[in-house]
């Protein structure tokens, strides 16, 4: 299905705004968001089915019942309009943390503290079984269809991705098979045993904050959302806080240190999960591996500290 133009999207949402010209609010990996009123937005999905969105609705309802201290999306209605799914959702307050950093209203250090606060709240929220029903990335089945425990389910996902994209991964990743094999045992060894909802794609762009820089909402769930080890979520978040900046590696390692101190995570576990994330998502955006994300993942899998954590 092609991505809708603004005119096509506007036609779809006009039925909820009584003929006014729809105002776009944003575009994410999954769809376009338009304003309906002060309390609601319409999201036009690029590819999700109504069945999948009803499952997501149940997940959001369960997530909203947790006392995180910030809002999460809520789907009020699911519609199919002209063959395309449209959801009517709660409008979340605040603006992206990334915008506050860019404008100078929040320092990078303050933004990282807010980021860690969000990770801490998510990681201490307890198990969320509804998260186990969520498929990840472009898969149709739940992550847990392959295994009942998180380490084995995550490794099975990594194996599926490596099998699917071996022709691209093998030339770019040294000792690919050796690393994939080692990952299985290492994931079991570093697993903290704790379970919570895993956002899986937490960035400064999808943490909303108020004028004082305090978190008001977390959005853009779904790419790698599941229930699992909160240390995995922390590792992913640290690595994607600043992926392509001039000091990206320094930022990542600095966040690891703060996560170790603030959240009690082990550096070795963070690095093993870093490897898992790189294997799983390397070809998420380009099957041919010709984009920046693939190069970023391959570089991590060849990085000395990551290799040591995997292979000893």
- Whole-number average pLDDT of the chain: 95
* Inter-residue contact 294 to 282 (CB < 8 Å): yes
Residues in a beta bridge with 79: 86
Q: What count of residues does the chain have?
A: 312
Q: How far apart are CA 310 and CA 179, in angstroms?
A: 7
Are 253 and 217 in contact, with CB atoms under 8 Å apart? Answer: no
* pTM higher than 0.85: yes
Domain boundaries along the sequence of the chain:
6-90, 95-311
Percent of the chain scoring above 70 in pLDDT? 99
pLDDT at 17 over 90: no
pLDDT at 201: 96
Residue 173 pLDDT: 98
Q: Which pLDDT belongs to residue 1? A: 59
- Range from 4-13, 217-226, 227-236, 237-246 carrying the lowest mean pLDDT: 4-13
> Angle between the 108-123 and 230-240 helix axes, to the nearest 10 degrees?
160
Would you say residue 10 has pLDDT above 90?
Answer: no
Q: What is the pLDDT of residues 289-301, one digit of tens each?
A: 999 999 999 999 9
Q: Can you spell out the DSSP letters for 50-105?
A: HHHHHHHHHHHHHHHTS--SSB---EEEEEEETTEEEEEEEPPPSEEHHHHHHHTS
Mean pLDDT of 57-76: 96
Given CATH 3.40.50.300, say whether it is the number of domain 95-311. Answer: no
Q: Check whether 143 has a pLDDT greater than 80.
A: yes
Cα separations (Å) of 187 from 179, 181, 276, 284? 12, 11, 8, 21
Q: What is the pLDDT of residue 144?
A: 97
pLDDT value of position 225: 97
CA distance 219 to 208: 8
**Phi-psi region at 294: left, alpha or beta (left = phi > 0; alpha = psi -120 to 50):** alpha
Domain 6-90, CATH 3.90.1200.10 — does that match?
A: no
Above 80 in pLDDT, residue 20? Answer: no
């Amino acid at each position: 299905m092609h991505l809708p133009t603004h005119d096509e999207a506007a036609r779809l949402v006009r039925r909820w705004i009584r003929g006014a010209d729809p105002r776009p609010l944003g575009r994410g990996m999954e769809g376009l968001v338009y304003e309906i009123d002060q309390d609601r937005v319409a999201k036009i999905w690029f590819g999700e089915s109504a069945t999948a969105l009803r499952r997501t609705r149940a997940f959001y309802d369960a997530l909203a019942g947790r006392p995180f201290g910030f809002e999460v999306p809520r789907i009020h209605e699911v519609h199919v309009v002209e063959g395309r799914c449209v959801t009517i959702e709660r409008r979340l307050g605040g603006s992206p943390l990334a915008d506050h950093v860019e404008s100078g209203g929040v320092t990078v250090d303050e933004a990282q503290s807010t980021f860690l606060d969000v990770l801490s709240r998510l990681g201490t929220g307890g198990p969320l079984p509804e998260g186990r029903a969520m498929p990840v990335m472009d898969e149709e089945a739940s992550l847990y269809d392959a295994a009942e425990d998180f380490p084995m389910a995550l490794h099975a996902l990594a194996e599926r991705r490596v099998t699917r994209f071996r022709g691209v991964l093998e030339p770019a990743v040294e000792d690919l098979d050796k690393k994939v094999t080692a990952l299985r045992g290492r994931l079991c060894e570093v697993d903290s045993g704790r379970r919570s909802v895993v956002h899986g794609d937490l960035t400064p762009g999808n943490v909303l904050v108020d004028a004082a820089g305090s978190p008001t909402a977390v959005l853009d769930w779904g790419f790698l959302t599941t229930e699992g080890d909160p240390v995995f979520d922390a590792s992913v978040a640290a690595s994607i806080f600043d992926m392509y900046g001039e000091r990206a590696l320094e930022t990542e390692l600095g966040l690891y240190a703060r996560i170790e101190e603030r959240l009690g995570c082990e550096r070795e576990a963070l690095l093993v999960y870093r490897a898992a994330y790189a294997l799983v998502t390397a070809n998420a955006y380009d099957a041919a591996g010709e984009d920046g994300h693939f190069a970023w993942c391959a570089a991590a899998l060849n990085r000395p500290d990551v290799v040591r954590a995997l292979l000893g």
